[in-house]
Amino acid sequence: MRKSSIIARFTLKEGLRDRFIAVLLAFYLFVVAFAYYFANFSTKWIDISFAINLLALFYYLISFSVIFFVPMKVSYEMAGNMALIYRSKPIHPVAFIAGKYGGYGIVVGILVLIAFLLSLIFIQKPLSLLAYFLALYLEQLTTLAAALLFGIYTSAGVAVLLTFMFYFLAHSTYEFAKMASESPVVEALARFFYTLFPSYDFYDLSALVVYGVEGSVSLWQLALYSLIYIGAILAIASYLFRSKEL
Cβ burial of 40 (10 Å; 0-12, 13-18, 19+) is exposed
**Which stretches within 40-155 are classed as H helix?**
44-64, 70-79, 81-88, 93-122, 126-153
CA separation for the pair 176, 191 (Å, rounded): 8
* Predicted local confidence at residue 162, as pLDDT: 92
What is the torsional sign of CA 4, 155, 25, 42? negative
pLDDT in tens, the chain (246 residues): 677 787 778 777 777 777 667 777 777 777 777 766 666 655 544 467 777 878 888 898 899 889 988 888 888 877 765 665 565 566 777 888 888 899 999 999 999 998 998 888 888 888 999 999 999 999 999 999 999 999 888 888 889 999 999 999 888 876 666 665 556 766 777 777 777 788 888 898 888 888 877 877 888 889 999 999 999 999 998 888 777 655
CA–CA distance, 229 with 243 (Å, rounded to integer): 21
pTM score > 0.85 for this model?
yes
Please give the pLDDT value at position 122: 81
**pLDDT computed for residue 45 by the predictor:** 45
**169-181: b (≥16 Cβ within 10 Å) or e:** bbbbbeebbeeee
Question: Strand, coil or helix: what is 214?
Answer: coil
Please name the residues in contact with 4: beta carbons below 8 A apart, sequence gap of 6 or more. Answer: 95, 96, 98, 99, 102
Close Cβ partners of 122 (under 8 Å, ≥ 6 residues apart): 35, 36, 39, 50, 51, 54
pLDDT at residue number 125: 85
